[in-house]
Amino acid sequence: MIRRAVLLLPVLALPACSLAPAYKRPTPAIPAALPDAGQTAEPAPASLSYRDVFRDQRLATLIDQALANNQDLKAALANVESARALVTVTRADLLPQLDANAGVTTGDSSNATRGNIGNGNAGGGGTGGRRTSYSANLGVSWEIDLFGRLRSLNDAAFNQYLGTDAARRGTKLSVVAGVANAWLTLAADRSLLAVARDTRTSAARSVELTRALLQGGVAPRTSLRQAETVLSQAEADEASLETAVAQDRNALELLVGAPVADELLPASIESLDGTLAEAPAGLDSSILLRRPDVVQAEYGLRAANARIGAARAAFFPRIGLTALAGFASSALSSLFDNGAFNWSVAPSATLPIFDGGANLGNLRYSRAQRDLALATYQNAIQSAFRDVADALARRATIDRQLAASTRLDAAARDSLFLANARFREGVDPYLNLLDAQRTAYGAARSLAQTRLLKAQNLVTLYQSLGGDELIDAR
């Protein structure tokens, strides 16, 4: 019988039929081409390393440190390991479960003797006494998955694990972009701090000059007060920006997960011109299907689709096989003799007849969850398309904005120089110089902020295209 059972196992282990709907990737509800792709769409690159975009070695070093130390990444990795462990648990249900046990049973069956004593027959003999038995058994229990219920649950768990791994990749991409943006923000705030300090120094000289002219009876008191407003504003901005620079560094160190050395920090946003490369243009929108968040949503859809198969299989019989083989003897020395061997096989089948609608409710729930996962998947694709479209729209105009800001800064500086000269010669009142100072201050700040916008746009485009975490859903 054991030989026959062993020969029967490969037959029972044949692939079970699956009642899950055949999966077909939904057609994305987005245009075929990205906004600036037109007729020149190019194949999606296999990957886009952050080192190809962020060419400054200091920034690349900080990103490497963040990928090794960031706590969000460690949490995402723990989620992946948890999902992988659950796959092992569900996969184990597909295989037979073997258990071995051994035991010793000792009992006293001298009731007859005690009864004789109670009846006054102390001399009567009984047949009872202490008895000991020994056993060693090997048991097998197995649900034969003929209708694919367990296999569908295993497929769902496996796709859930793959989705968790895609989420980890998305977290990694967010960390890379976060470090880059924090680093660039620190550079821009340092530039703004330098502008505030230069303005404060220039305004302090103007206040001294105006005060001297007031004491000489040349300038009115209003000119001194106007000069002091520029100085006070620059001093307030300087204090605020010193705080911002310190906070920027704190934010960067949180992302990196370790203290950041001074030599790895940028001096200004101007010093970073040319250190960020353009992301490839003219891409087909199918590249969005490989973004980590979109891939995670598709694996969620696959998992929901597999659970429908498990819900359908619940309407069919569950076939189980339980077998027990072992030895039992009243003497330990003869436990493994041929005469002590015993075995039993107990196949069973359970068919649901009435469950109050539970199986039907589970099937409807599974289908509703599949529809929810489908909507989530389509929404992820559409959100990804908008992210890229917004980044491309910003890229299409940022160069013109930067050129205009550069011209404005140059014109404001020259206007300030001329206004200062005319005020010193007594040609113009201080009000003209005040207006020129404010214009130059605002133009310098605007130029620094525009440079930051351009740099951050490259980071956003890199992130929205999926960066070096482009992966395929399988």
Output the domain CATH number for residue 323. Answer: 2.20.200.10
Most confident by average pLDDT, 69-73, 285-289, 426-430: 69-73
Residues 64 and 196 in one domain: yes
Tens of pLDDT along 23-41? Answer: 999 988 888 777 764 444 4
365 and 329, same structural domain?
Answer: no
Do 327 and 401 lie in a common domain?
A: no
Task: Tell me: pLDDT of 95 over 60.
Answer: yes
Q: Which has the closest alpha carbon to 209: 196, 199, 198, 224?
A: 224
- Among residues 49, 21, 303, the alpha carbon closest in space to that of 165 is found at 303
Residue 463 lies in a domain: yes
Residue 27 covered by a domain: yes
Full residue range of the structural domain in which residue 139 is found: 99-110+129-144+318-350
Residue 416 lies inside a defined structural domain of this protein = yes
Pair 340, 450 in one domain: no
State yes or no: pLDDT of 11 exceeds 70. Answer: no
Residue 112 has pLDDT above 70, yes or no: no
Task: For residues 51-62, give the mean pLDDT.
Answer: 91
Predicted confidence (pLDDT) at residue 60 exceeds the cutoff of 80:
yes
Q: Residue 426: name the closest of 259, 256, 217 by CA.
A: 217
Average pLDDT of the residues in 229-244:
94
The contacts of residue 410 (CB under 8 Å, 6+ apart) are none
Q: Give CA–CA dist 196/357, Å, rounded.
A: 73
Question: So what's the pLDDT on residue 473?
Answer: 45
Residue type, 416: L
- Give the up-direction half-sphere exposure of residue 443: CA atoms within 13 A in the CB hemisphere: 20
> Do 341 and 445 belong together in one domain?
no
pLDDT digits 0-9 by tens, 299-316: 999 999 999 999 999 898
Residues 220 and 297 reside in one and the same domain: yes
| Nearest Cα residue to 395 out of 449, 470, 459 | 459
Same domain, 181 and 165: yes
Q: Is the pLDDT of residue 372 over 90?
A: yes
Mean pLDDT of 271-293: 81
Tally of domains within the chain = 2
210 is a domain residue: yes
Q: Average pLDDT for residues 193-206, to the nearest whole number?
A: 92
Strand 130-144 and strand 97-108: the pairing is antiparallel
Res. 135: pLDDT tops 90: no
Between vectors from CA 202 to CA 196 and to CA 206, what angle results, nearest 5°? 135
Domain-embedded: residue 6: no
The CATH number given to whatever domain includes residue 432 is 1.20.1600.10
Rg (CA), the chain: 39
Q: 121 in a domain, yes or no? A: no
Name every residue whose Cβ is closer than 8 Å to that of residue 407 and which is 6 or more positions away in sequence: none
Assess whether 135 and 179 both reside in one domain.
Answer: no
Predicted TM-score (pTM) of this structure = 0.82
User: Percentage of the chain surpassing pLDDT 70?
Assistant: 84
Label residues 153-188 b or e (16+ Cβ within 10 Å = b). Answer: bbbbbbbbbbbbbbbbbbbbbbbbbbbbbbbbbbbb
122 domain residue, yes or no: no
Residue 118 lies in a domain: no
